[in-house]
Chain A
């Protein structure tokens, strides 16, 4: 997958990406993991001050609400006919508005961080955890793939790579 150009769309600029069939399958499989993070993950403060209990609850509710909105947008995004347009042999194009870029980045990060939490919050450097169960191996794959797609989306803000 790579960013190829930005173009004008109905709502303003759009980022156009080129993906292979394999990458489309990877992207869809990663997005199926969403949402991964649970509301209890979010903490408003490091300390457990009693007076901040209401704010903690507010944060959890806000995050749950945000996830519901993102899930709705994601479902609509994926259900759009011709989302991935065939442009050549094993070449698909799809475009994202800046607003879609932002929530897709958040969705991918939710998968990445959520999978990391499910794996027991391991250190990922210098090497990822070993001796994994099938479920853990899937979570690690989703974690790595979501990072891969995040990098490509973020790279679009710097413009296309020189040919």
Chain B
């Protein structure tokens, strides 16, 4: 919700929102209204922009990355240990590992990765091998 609000504010502040998705050469804009300047008798019809749909062809790797690796809080694993495990399993620098560890500690969980089924499963096995409470969840 916070992110949405910020985005809206950003758009309204930094981008003028046009009523049309493309610009007409014969149109001029005044604050609050649109009008046509120097319209000739035989105005050439303005061809609508091509609206041919292009299929998005994401690589399968990206398309399948619908599994979330989540680490859950528990009162037993030491904070310094959790940080170390994140560094080893994901190869993260200490600062990033600590950020996720603090998120687990304070928010109760942290999203560690969004991966394919196989990779998410691999990470869960690694994390659980270190005794952390980690699971994989299908992204809704």
Within 8 A of A (CB), among B121-140: 121, 124-125, 128-131, 135-138
B100 interface residue per 8 A CB criterion: no
Q: Are A125 and B75 in contact (CB under 8 A)?
A: yes
**In the complex the two chains form, is B124's CB within 8 Å of A59's CB?**
yes
C-alpha spacing A112/B130, complex, angstroms = 11
Chain B residues 65-85 with CB under 8 Å of chain A are 70, 74-78, 80-81, 84
Query: Are A44 and B124 closer than 8 Å at their CB atoms?
Result: yes
Are B76 and A110 interface neighbours, CB within 8 A? no
Q: Is B88 an interface residue (CB 8 A)?
A: yes
Do B130 and A147 have beta carbons less than 8 Å apart? no
Residues of chain A with a CB closer than 8 A to B130's CB:
105-106, 109
Q: Is the CB of B125 within 8 A of A105?
A: no
Secondary structure of the B contact surface, majority rule:
mixed
**A102 in the interface (beta carbon within 8 A):** yes
**Is the CB of A157 closer than 8 A to any CB of chain B?**
yes
Task: Report B84-95 CB contacts with A as 1/0, cut-off 8 Å.
Answer: 100010000000
Asked if A47 is at the interface (CB within 8 A of a chain B CB), the reply is yes
By DSSP majority rule, is chain A's interface helix, strand, loop, or mixed?
helix
**Contacts of B137 on A, CB cut-off 8 Å?**
45-47
Docked-complex contact A37 and B131, CB < 8 angstroms: yes
Interface residues on B, range: 20 to 34
Q: Which of the residues B74, B77, B135 comes within 8 Å of A44, measured between beta carbons?
A: B135
> Known contacts being A44-B124, A45-B137, A123-B75, is A106 close to B129, with CB within 8 Å?
yes
- Asked whether A66 is an interface residue with its Cβ less than 8 Å from the other chain, the reply is yes
Closest Cβ of chain A to B23, distance in Å, is: 50
A113/B84 contact (C-beta < 8 A), A43-B135, A62-B125 known: no
The CA of A140 and the CA of B70, in the complex, are separated in Å by 28
Q: How far is the CB of B41 from chain A (nearest CB, A)?
A: 69
- In the complex, the chain B residue whose C-beta lies closest to that of A106 is B130
Residue A42 CB within 8 A of the other chain: yes
Contact of A110 (CB < 8 Å), options: B70, B74, B124, B131: B131
With A43-B135, A44-B136 in contact, is A154–B124 under 8 Å at CB?
Answer: no
B106 to chain A, nearest CB (A): 14
A18-41 to B contact mask, C-beta < 8 Å, 1/0: 000000000000000000010000
Residue A1 at the chain B interface, CB threshold 8 Å: no
A interface residue numbers (CB < 8 A to B): 37, 42-47, 49, 55, 58-59, 62-63, 66, 102, 105-106, 109-110, 112-113, 116, 121-125, 143, 147, 150-151, 154, 157
* A-B contact list, 17 entries, CB within 8 Å: A37-B131, A45-B137, A59-B124, A59-B128, A106-B129, A106-B131, A109-B81, A109-B130, A110-B131, A112-B76, A112-B131, A113-B131, A116-B76, A121-B76, A143-B76, A150-B81, A154-B81
Given A106-B131, A154-B78, 5 other A-B contacts at CB below 8 A? A45-B136, A112-B76, A112-B131, A113-B131, A124-B75
